[in-house]
Amino acid sequence: MDNFSEMRNCTIGDKCEIAPNVILGYKYKDWSIPAIIGDMARIHSGTVVYSDTVVGKRFTCGHNVTIRAECIIGDRVVILHGCTLEGKITIGKGVKIMAHVYIPSRTVIGELSFIGPGVTILNDRMPMRKPGIAGVSIGNNVVIGGGATIGPGVTIGDNVFVGAGALVMKDIPSDSLAYGSPAAHKPLPEKFGKRNDPEQIFTGLDLWNNTPDDGSWRNEDFFGKDRWLSDNNVKKFQ
Ligand SMILES: CC(C)(COP(=O)(O)OP(=O)(O)OC[C@H]1O[C@@H](n2cnc3c(N)ncnc32)[C@H](O)[C@@H]1OP(=O)(O)O)[C@@H](O)C(=O)NCCC(=O)NCCS
């Protein structure tokens, strides 16, 4: 770990690679505890992580990402450049967030989900008119296509695929395909498979992160692992 960054109000794990010009544990007005960053994080320049936020191990983070306070980010999460995560967000293990995504406060995202580039998530139905923050809840093994917008208070179930550019203003049940504006949904066609491929989720980090896969994710728990193992012949992974 180098020490070029100016602000390090954080507890940082082992074997982290933190670029110059990264702020960890940014002290906002009401901060109470330093940020916590897990082992083997790779954080590129220009990123700011606020105090009171906890990040799991093997975090991969691109340039110019803002992660505000009281976020809980699971292990093996990947966030590409230019994303904004407002405070009080929970993100599950192995979630991949592509570039230029906006995630407002009170959003919850389950495990192994993929958020495409330029996705916008909202949390306020009538801003400046009626108070009421309603966070979005996104399940496990979800794919949100590029440029989609997810409206305030929407719940998206597990194993949902949302098409590029969709405008999702109503809940989407598990195992659905949704697309269009406003989005309509139907049962997920078989060609989409049963889940996001854990191998792609955990090993395909990004072009600029060529860390070889040490296979350790295979020994860890993640959503749907038992079914994935039985569907893929357990012997292959022993
Ligand atoms: C929705 C999606 C999954 C396609 O689903 P599909 O069932 O294979 O659909 P098809 O390609 O067979 O198209 C079926 C119809 O839906 C339309 N359609 C496809 N994707 C659409 C979308 N995102 N929004 C609106 N209509 C769409 C097609 O034009 C076609 O219309 P037609 O029947 O009038 O010709 C895909 O188009 C998509 O949006 N993928 C997300 C890609 C992405 O964002 N990747 C991010 C990482 S780069």
User: How far apart are alpha carbons 237 and 97 in whole angstroms?
Assistant: 27
For residue 163, the CA-to-ligand 1 centroid distance in Å is 6
162 strand-pairing partners: 144, 178
Q: Is the pLDDT of residue 26 over 90?
A: yes
d(CA 115, ligand 1 centre) in Å: 16
The stretch 138-143 carries a mean pLDDT of: 98
Structural domain boundaries in the chain: 71-213
Q: Are 9 and 24 in contact (CB under 8 A)?
A: yes
pLDDT number for residue 170: 98
Residues 136 and 107: beta-carbon distance below 8 Å: yes
Q: Is the CB of 116 under 6 A from ligand 1?
A: yes
Q: Is 34 in the pocket of ligand 1 (CB under 6 A)?
A: no
pTM of the model: 0.95
Look up the CATH number of domain 71-213: 2.160.10.10
Averaged pLDDT for residues 206-230: 89
**In this model, does residue 210 exceed pLDDT 90?**
no
**How much is the pLDDT for 8?**
85
Q: Which two tokens stand for residue 174?
A: 């598990």
Closest CA to 93 of 155, 154, 50, 140: 140
Through-space distance between the first and last CA atoms of the chain, rounded to whole angstroms = 33
Query: What's the pLDDT tens digit per position in 194-204?
Result: 999 999 999 97
Beta bridge partners of 55: 37, 73
Q: Give distance in angstroms: CA of 213 to centre of ligand 1.
A: 32
Among the atoms of ligand 1, which is closest to the Cα of residue 162? 1
Question: Burial code of 191-213, b = ≥16 C-beta within 10 A, e = fewer?
Answer: eeeebbebeebbeebeeeeeeee
The C-alpha atoms of residue 104 and residue 150 are separated, in whole angstroms, by 11
Q: Please check the confidence at residue 182 and state whether its pLDDT lies above 60.
A: yes
Q: What is the pLDDT of residues 34-87, one digit of tens each?
A: 999 999 999 999 999 999 999 999 999 999 999 999 999 999 999 999 999 999
What is the spatial distance between Cα 115 and Cα 110, in angstroms, rounded to a whole number? 11
* DSSP state at residue 125: S
